[in-house]
Amino acid sequence: MKKLGCNASREVPQMLSQKLLAIIQDGFPLVERPYKALAEMLNVSEQEVFDEVEKMRTSGVIRRIGGVYDSKKLGFISRLCTGKVPASSLDFSAEPHSQTPMEKFAAVVMSEPAITHNYIRSHEYNVWFTVIAENESAIQAVVDRVCSETDLHDVHVLTATKKYKINTVMGKGAGAPSKNVFASAVRQSPENALTEADRTRIHIACDDIPHSLTPFKDWGVSCDELREDIATKRMRRFGAILRHQDAGFPCNAMVCFLLDERSLANSESAGSLLAKKHYVSHCYERPSFENFPYNLYAMMHAQTPEELNGYIKKSVALLDNPEYVVLHSLKELKKTSFRFFA
Q: What is the mean pLDDT of residues 81-87?
A: 98
Instruction: Give the pLDDT confidence of 148-198 residue by residue, as tens digits.
Output: 999 999 999 999 999 999 866 655 444 444 455 454 443 434 445 899 999
In the structure, what pLDDT confidence band is assigned to residue 247 with cuts at 50, 70 and 90? low
pLDDT averaged over every residue in the chain: 89
For the entire predicted model, the pTM comes to 0.84
Contact status, residue 95 vs residue 235, Cβ threshold 8 Å: no
Going by pLDDT thresholds of 50, 70 and 90, the confidence category of residue 100 is very high
pLDDT of res. 26: 87
Give dist(CA 54, CA 5) in Å, integer: 24
* Residue 6 confidence (pLDDT) above 50: no
> Would you say residue 7 has pLDDT above 90?
no
Task: For each of the domains in the chain, give its residue range(s) and CATH number, in order of start.
Answer: 16-66+194-242 (1.10.10.2890)
Q: If pLDDT is split at 50, 70 and 90, which confidence band does 205 have?
A: very high
Nearest to 81 by CA among 270, 253, 292, 260: 292
Q: How far apart are CA 304 and CA 297, in angstroms?
A: 21
Strand order from edge to edge, sheet including 77-84: 153-158, 77-84, 127-133, 115-121, 323-335, 251-258, 296-302, 280-285, 162-166
For 279-327, how does the pLDDT look when each residue is reduced to its tens digit (9 = 90+)? Answer: 999 999 999 999 999 999 999 999 999 999 999 999 999 999 999 999 9
CB 67 within 8 A of CB 180: no
Region of poorest pLDDT, from 188-197, 234-243, 249-258, 295-304 = 188-197
CA distances 150 to 99, 100, 133, 282, Å, are 11, 10, 21, 29
- Whether the per-residue pLDDT at 10 is higher than 90: the answer is no
CA–CA separation, 69 and 232 (whole Å)? 11
* Average pLDDT score over residue span 195-221: 97
Which tens digits make up the pLDDT trace of 109-130?
999 999 999 999 999 999 999 9
The gap from C-alpha 135 to its chain's centroid, in whole angstroms, comes to 22
What is the tens place of the pLDDT at every residue in 58-72?
999 999 999 999 999
Q: Which carries the bigger pLDDT value, residue 264 or residue 300?
A: 300
* Residue 249 pLDDT class (50, 70, 90 cuts): confident
13: pLDDT confidence band, cut at 50, 70 and 90?
A: low
Q: In the chain, pLDDT over 90 holds for what percent of residues? A: 80
- 9 pLDDT higher than 60: no
Crossing angle between the packed helical segments 46-59 and 34-42, to the nearest 10 degrees = 110
Higher pLDDT, 247 or 95: 95
